[in-house]
Each structure stands twice: as C-alpha cells, then as structure tokens.
Amino acid sequence: MSVSLHRRALAGIAVLALAATPMTARAQDFINVLTGGTSGVYYPLGVALSKIYGEKIANVRPTVQATKASVENLQLLQQGKGEIAFTLGDSLDAAWKGDEEAGFKSPLKKLRGITAIYPNYVQIVASKDSGIKTLADLKGKRLSVGAPKSGTELNARAILAAAGMTYKDLGKIEYLPFAESVELMKNRQLDATLQSAGLGVASLRDLATSVEITVVEVPAAVVDKAGPPFVKVSIPANTYTGQTAAVPAAAVVNYLVTHEGMKEETVYQMTRAVFENLPDLAAAHAAARSIKLESALEGMPVPLHPGAARYFKEKGLKVGS
C-alpha cells in the first residue's frame, strides 16, 4: 500500500471511531423523562427535572416525553422505553400486581422505586351554572374523567364507587385530557371535570378565570370508604379564582420510578439531584413544595432501586432489606 493510501485508510478509521463514540455515549447516558399531558403538573416538573439532570449530572442527555401519564408511563418503563417516570401511587400498585381492570394485563416486575414526591389532589370542579354542589349532584350530568385507564380515570372510578355511584349513573362520560376537558366546560358542553393533579394545576386555574366554578367536596366518609392509597386532605381557600373556602378532598401520593435495568450509579445521581435541587422544582410548579426527604419512602408499593436506596441510606433514612 502506498503512503498516501495508508494515510487515507488511517484517516477513515479515525473518522469512524469518532462517529461511533458519541453514539455509544448517547446509548449509555440517555435519560428520557416520562411525564403526562402538557397542561398537567407532571410535564412542567419533568421539564425542570430534565434541566437539572443536564446541568448537575455529568455525561447525560436528558429528554422529556409528554404522555397519557401514569399507566402509559409504567408500561413504557417496563418496555425499557424510558428511564424515569411520574406516576400515581394507585397506578403503581396496580402495575406491580398486574391489575387488568386498571390497564395492566400482567405484573410489571421490572419497575423500581426512586422516591415519593407530592400528593395528587382528586379535584372535582363543576361550572356554577350546572348546579352541581355535591358528589350526588353528578348523577345525570356530563363529567370528564381523564384519559382512558389513566391514573386520573382510575381515581374517578374509585371515588365514585366509594360514593355509591358508577359511570352508568352519569348523563355522559368524556375520557379527555385536562386541557380538552376545560375547553368543553368553557363551551358549556361539559358540566364538570375530575382532575387528579397537584394543587393549582394550570388547567383548572385557566377554567376558574374563564367561568364561575364550584369545587365539589369529597367528604371524609367517602375517602375512608375508598381506603388506601387515598388520604383525606383539604384544598385551601383561594387555590382557584372564586373558591373562597377550603374544600375537603381526597389525595394519592405520586412517585418517581425507574426500571431494574438502570445502573446503580446513574439512579443514585438522579435521586441526589432531585433532593439537592428542590427549589428549582418548586419554581417549576408549586406542587413540588411538598417533596420532602423525610417522606421519600412513604407507602412505596414497589422495590426501591439500589441507587435510590444507597442515597437514602447516606441520608440516614431506614431502608428495608
């Protein structure tokens, strides 16, 4: 081989090597954050989390994916199509057990927990014109319960059942994301919407500034009948325009989860980045103010990932074997 040809061959090998290296890094360091609809709470928190990971963890390439939220997120994690996801606790429990009624044909045993985050408030908001003031008043009315098989929709079934009702008692059921539900209410095509989200969710803030609303009470007795993972809470007065008094409600804890295939060191860094940057998450959405290290393991329905367990042990939390 001539010197010229030899040099060109070496140059070609070098180019191929350089091209291959970034692709390998991307495969190793890719973090896809699975969230929810863009008008919910998961999405802005996911965007903030992605930014934190990009700035605080070396050699990672975070992205954010809008989804139909909890159920889809857990299925994507099981398939290895995401690295971290937001989910409601009842959906996570159903996924681990393989509850077909909740949308899981078989147990999703690759799921691993990272941390509890904030409670999702089951918020039932009706237009004042509808005359709906109580859960019983929903009978014969038009209600949106979230995307089919979503965490919100599972919450809707559970709360209505605890109140002695089913979808058959309602005039019409719509399976729509938050923002679309609000648009129908503005156009008087819907009487009420049930949205399981953090307090002050953008969709309901938008609704309350457009039409007069009534935040419907979920009485303590109904929450007790629904049972775990539901807990009794109160939606503070003035959370939404025109809501002048606190309203009793139900809530379910949200979690960040991953899958068993994630490296321990990566999940350790991801967990640490959450708790070392809580002000940045709170700036993205007020719901993140409820994220506390001391309650990180509260009610976790799936095994903790070793990387998360390592972080919590360092911080003095009692982690099960």
**pLDDT recorded at residue 321:** 55
Q: Measured in whole angstroms, how far is the alpha carbon of residue 224 from the centre of its chain?
A: 24
Q: How far apart are CA 142 and CA 135, in angstroms?
A: 13
Q: Measured in whole angstroms, how far is the alpha carbon of residue 130 from the centre of its chain?
A: 30
The pTM of the full predicted model, rounded to 2 decimals, is 0.76
Q: Which residues in the chain come in under a pLDDT of 50? A: 3, 5-7, 9-27
Pairing of strands 247-259, 231-235: antiparallel
| Selection from 235, 156, 244 nearest residue 199 by Cα | 235
Q: Do the beta carbons of residue 317 and residue 125 sit within 8 Å? A: no
Please state whether 303 falls in left (phi above 0), alpha (psi between -120 and 50) or beta: beta
Query: Which residues of the chain form CATH 3.40.190.10?
Result: 3-117+254-314, 120-252
Q: Measured in whole angstroms, how far is the alpha carbon of residue 10 from the centre of its chain?
A: 50
Gyration radius (Cα) of the chain, Å: 23
Q: How far apart are CA 190 and CA 215, in angstroms?
A: 15
**For domain 120-252, is the CATH number 3.40.190.10?**
yes
Q: Which residues pair with 115 in a beta bridge?
A: 256
What CATH number has the domain spanning 3-117+254-314? Answer: 3.40.190.10
Helices in 1-87 by DSSP H: which ranges? 3-29, 42-56, 70-78
Q: How far apart are CA 149 and CA 102, in angstroms?
A: 6
The residue type of 261 is: G
**pLDDT recorded at residue 134:** 98
37: three-class secondary structure by DSSP: coil
**pLDDT recorded at residue 1:** 52
Q: How far apart are CA 318 and CA 321, in angstroms?
A: 9
